[in-house]
Structure 1
Amino acid sequence: MKKFLLIVFLVGAVQVTKADVIEDIAVYMKNGDVKSLSNYFASTVELIILNQEEIYSNVQAGIILKDFFQKNPAKSYKIVHKVNSNANYKFGVILLSTSKNVFRVSYELKASSGKFLIAQIRIEENKE
């Protein structure tokens, strides 16, 4: 019985470490998959897109991001920064390459009811 419990614990631990919410969100952004991305939205999301800043409901945020991704379909992404050492907070920064431009996208996630939810997304032109 002890061996069984140890195996269950180790399998669970491996699956927990495999799940990388920062990577998942980066892939959704690269694919313009707002439907999957919106599963991570908090009830309100602060969006800063090219110097236009506002707090939106999760539904409004999805509509605005869908419009952004339709106008700027991504070709590739690169994660350039991750903060995932805090049990209640995560932060990611990606470079999102489109046919028109390269955007620096940062996103902040906060723990809520055992799940990380996006509280803020900032999209700006990459100046490097």
Structure 2
Amino acid sequence: MKRTILMLIFAAWAFPMQLQAQSEVMNDIRAAIKSGSSKELSLYLNDVVELYFYGEMSSYSRTQAEYVLKDFFKENPPRNFIYKHQGSSKDGQLYAIGEYTYDNGTYSILLRIKEFEGKLRIFKIDFIDEQD
């Protein structure tokens, strides 16, 4: 009985901390995209990440993805990035849909995130040009 009570107390304590950590990661990702920092964003990429641009999906290592994102941000410097919707699936996968504005238009960005080796990591990013 004591063990059950201790487990419930621990769960009640740990759950808010997990939500806080999740919120911090999502805020850091948003800030990295908003500032156009591929270096900061790469801190949250999984070892392999899928990037979807212009109707084509490619898989990259974290380092390769950082360079691809650097080129994207250079070609499309951000004016703003905001989350429009965030949620999670039943299996614990997080997602966020955001609006990325730059001088020539807007992209919708879909981020897919899940836990790898105890850390939340982006494993897929879709850039959808709103002008197409």
Q: Under a length normalisation based on structure 2, what TM-score does the superposition of the two structures give?
A: 0.79
Q: Does 1:80 align with 2:90?
A: no
Aligned residue among 35, 39, 46 for 1:35: 39
Structure-2 change in CA distance of 1:33 and 1:114 (3 Å): same
1:51 has 2:55 as partner = yes
Q: For structure 1, list consecutive stretches of 5 or more residues without a partner in the other structure.
A: 1-5
Gaps of 5+ in 2: 1-8
Counterpart residue type for residue 36 of structure 1 = E
Equivalent position amino acid for 1:104 in 2: S
Partner of 1:3: none
The separation in 2 between residues aligned to 1:29 and 1:43, in whole angstroms, is 19
Provide the C-alpha distance between the structure 2 equivalents of 1:32 and 1:105, rounded to a whole number of angstroms.
13
TM-superposed CA distance for 1:59, in Å, is 0.8
- Specify which of 87, 96, 99 is matched with residue 100 of structure 2: 96
Task: Provide the C-alpha distance between the structure 2 equivalents of 1:57 and 1:94, rounded to a whole number of angstroms.
Answer: 23
Alignment correspondent of 2:4 = none
- Give aligned-pair identity as a percent: 26
**One-letter amino acid matched to 2:32:** Y
Show the 5 A alignment for 1:108-127: 108-126=112-130
1:16 Cα shift? 4.6
Report the 3-state secondary structure (helix = DSSP H, G, I; strand = E; otherwise coil) of the residue aligned with 1:59: helix
SS in 2 for 1:94: strand
Q: What is the aligned residue count? A: 120
